[in-house]
């Protein structure tokens, strides 16, 4: 994510633009004042200010919801915790079939959210144990 420009830098860019400076000249002028700005950022600030002065509203952001995935809800955490605790916990594949969530999601919830250790559940056949 790009860094935010300070308001003073935006005003400096717009002032230099109103004085008929070109984008490269604005970059050089700001560089002399120890402000590092790229030409594309200068053009973006000029374009935004021109649109604002013309009365065109800024389009809404297309940023998606960052953070936890929408699948990992509090209800799912409760169900997985209930299924994994106890003397004979369910396997990940059983939980997958029961809840309709991928096995990777279940493993991620167990290891990250519940801070549990994922281990192999072995099946012991009684026919050879005598």
Domain residue limits, the chain: 7-54, 74-113
Digit-coded pLDDT (tens) for 6-40: 888 999 999 999 999 999 999 999 999 998 999 99
Q: For residues 91 and 61, is the Cβ–Cβ distance under 8 A?
A: no
- Using 50, 70 and 90 to split pLDDT, how confident is the model at 3? low
Q: What is the pLDDT of residue 78?
A: 92
Report pLDDT for 1: 46
53-104 confidence digits (pLDDT tens)? 888 877 777 776 666 667 888 899 999 999 988 888 888 899 999 999 999 9
The burial of 35, by beta-carbon neighbours within 10 Å (0-12 exposed, 13-18 middle, 19 or more buried), is given as middle
pTM of this structure:
0.44
């Amino acid at each position: 994510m790009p860094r935010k420009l300070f308001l003073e830098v935006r005003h400096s860019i717009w002032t230099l633009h109103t004085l008929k400076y070109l984008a490269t000249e604005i970059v050089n002028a700001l560089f002399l004042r120890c402000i590092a700005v790229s030409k594309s950022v200068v053009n973006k600030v000029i374009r935004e200010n021109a649109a604002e002065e013309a009365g065109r509203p800024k389009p809404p952001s297309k940023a998606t919801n960052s953070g936890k995935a929408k699948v990992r809800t509090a209800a799912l955490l409760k169900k997985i915790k209930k299924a994994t605790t106890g003397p004979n916990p369910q396997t990940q594949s059983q939980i997958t079939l029961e809840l309709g969530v991928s096995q990777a999601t279940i493993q991620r919830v167990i290891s990250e959210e519940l801070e549990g250790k994922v281990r192999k559940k072995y099946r012991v056949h009684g026919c050879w144990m005598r």
